[in-house]
Amino acid sequence: MKQLGFVILLLSVCFPGVTFAAASDLTLVTSQANSAGGTDYSVSLQILMLMTVLTLLPAALMAMTSFTRIIVVLAILRQALGLMQTPSNQIILGLSLFITLFIMSPVFEAAYQNGVEPYMNEAIGFDAALGEAGVPFHKFMVDQTRESDLALFSEMAGYTAFDTLNDIPFRVLVPAYITSELKTAFQIGFLIFIPFLVIDLVVASILMSMGMMMLSPMLISLPFKIMLFVMVDGWTLVVGTLASSFSVI
């Protein structure tokens, strides 16, 4: 409350024409017990919680969706093609974002129907809505996470075993999911890298046999790699493989 009083004092000094209510009359945070045995908070506190959650959306997008795998694979693909700046980072980010929205749409719809919509209709409280909205994300991440990664982080967190997969807390599931996604992304990137690496080796061998050692093999192999990628309809294959690699509810 000291901070609140300081803010009111500062505003009264900066805006002397504005009249503020007495500090004792300001009720910013209230809570009361509900019939279910929980606690209902005031609207102002719920708005503060909501704004805090919104600030964590970028981190949640990277840590709890398919975004990480997609953007890592696309970055490796660009490196394999030998195109350092094409497509640009903005294009890769935009493509990754919209592919993520496409893949995660069933999860988002389930979270909205189970948590957000009942809360907006005042059928459930804020805590219950938050829990219900997290269930589809929990199931999605569990389906993509390796058991070895879950076991590692569960042991580090001090958990021995879980009765069901639904009992795994997010503090264990999120780091295990990110680690598993990075492993999967690098595996896919390795498979994508192989054909382009073969082209680089063939071109380098031909140039060396012709005595053209001063000519960069990347300069010669780049058109062939682009031609190969276009001929096999590479973008459709990569994006389709990424979308089908997820087990969505």
164 part of a folded domain: yes
In this predicted structure, what is the pLDDT of residue 73?
92
Phi then psi for residue 18, to 5 deg, are: -95, 130
136 part of a folded domain: yes
Q: With DSSP H G I counted as helix, E B as strand and the rest as coil, what are the percentages for the chain, rounded to 5? A: 75, 0, 25
173 part of a folded domain: yes
Tokens read off for 58 = 């970028």
36 part of a folded domain: no
22 part of a folded domain: no
In this predicted structure, what is the pLDDT of residue 40?
54
10 part of a folded domain: no
**For 216-228, what is each residue's pLDDT tens digit?**
777 788 888 888 8
115 part of a folded domain: yes
**For 190-234, what is each residue's pLDDT tens digit?**
998 888 888 888 888 888 887 777 777 777 888 888 888 888 888
Q: Which residues of the chain have pLDDT under 70?
A: 1-46, 48-50, 53, 126, 248-249
Domain that residue 97 falls in: 65-244
80 part of a folded domain: yes
Tokens read off for 54 = 């919104």
**C-alpha of 78 from chain center:** 21
Total number of domains constituting the chain: 1
